[in-house]
Amino acid sequence: MTTSAILTTRTGPQKHKVVSSREWLAARRRLLAQEKRLTRLRDELSRKRRGLPWVKVEKDYVFSGPKGRQKLADLFAGRSQLVVYHFMFAPGDGEGCPHCSFWADHFDGAVAHLNQRDTALVVVSRAPWGKLKAFRKRMGWRFPWVSSNGSDFNYDFHVSFTPREVRAGPIGYNYKSMRMPAGLNDLPGISAFYRDSTGAIFHTYSAYSRGIDPINNTYNIVDLTAKGRDENPERPMEWVDYHDRYKSR
């Protein structure tokens, strides 16, 4: 006999079907077939991502951090691959973006494993190194973080925009044109680079907006639950705060 239970979400109570174990197993197997198709599609997309053409990085970008001034090549730390997370933290900001902080909370555990796959992970922001250092200490992070202050790096990889560009609009972000809210000059993203045996560096991939979702394990885990992300459709991340400001639940 089929019954129902009430699922309480941000959008209100919803009836949810309750069935026998046998019926649940049949439904789960049907969904598994779809999940396997998605897995194969994701593998194919990953192969196509690796097959994208590259762009040689010609500019000599300089960053500042705990090791002083470093060039882009130095951020590889002797490895052939580099992944950069573009963290929203402008020079005039008192603290880093709470949404980027949500993403960054997942980085420390990955660094050692990425290093074993010949890959360095570095976070880059426009704020000066002193601000990054203080905020990283507050948040308890250990991953490499450097400042691109004074360089074109953020602008060239389409995650930062001058006040003039924002006023003139639209700006180019996530491979399309959009208008930025007044006063906002930075957006998040992730970029990948390869350094060959001659020392030449190539830009191989960048993703923005929802394209950075795969590196957020909290979202990936909560997607497995009955409520899912359970967010306000108009302002999906309004619940996110710095991890040191959450009230205990």
Q: What is the pLDDT of residues 52-71, one digit of tens each?
A: 999 999 999 999 999 999 99
In a domain, 103, yes or no: yes
Q: CA-CA-CA-CA torsion for 123, 127, 133, 136, nearest 10 degrees? A: -60
Task: Give the tens place of pLDDT for each residue, 155-184.
Answer: 999 999 999 999 988 999 999 999 988 789
Structure tokens of 21?
A: 């174990």
Structure tokens of 57?
A: 């990085």
> Residues 98-124: what's their mean pLDDT?
98
Task: Give the tens place of pLDDT for each residue, 6-30.
Answer: 888 887 888 889 999 999 999 999 9
- Residue 12 is predicted with a pLDDT of 82
Is there a contact between 189 and 124 (Cβ–Cβ < 8 Å)?
no
Range of the domain at 84: 56-215
In a domain, 166, yes or no: yes
Compute how many other C-beta atoms are within 10 angstroms of the C-beta atom of residue 111.
16
Is there a contact between 37 and 28 (Cβ–Cβ < 8 Å)?
no
In a domain, 60, yes or no: yes
In a domain, 200, yes or no: yes
In a domain, 44, yes or no: no
Angle at 214 between CA 97 and CA 135, to 5 degrees: 25
CA distance 165 to 194: 30
In a domain, 195, yes or no: yes
- Residue 183 is predicted with a pLDDT of 81
> Residues 108-131: what's their mean pLDDT?
98
Looking at residue 149, which CATH number applies to its domain? 3.40.30.10
- Residue 1 is predicted with a pLDDT of 56
CA distance 169 to 230: 33
CA distance 90 to 160: 9
Number of structural domains, the chain?
A: 1
Give the chain's largest Cα–Cα span: 69
In a domain, 183, yes or no: yes
> Residues 190-219: what's their mean pLDDT?
97
- Does residue 249 surpass a pLDDT of 70? no
In a domain, 23, yes or no: no
> Residues 136-158: what's their mean pLDDT?
97
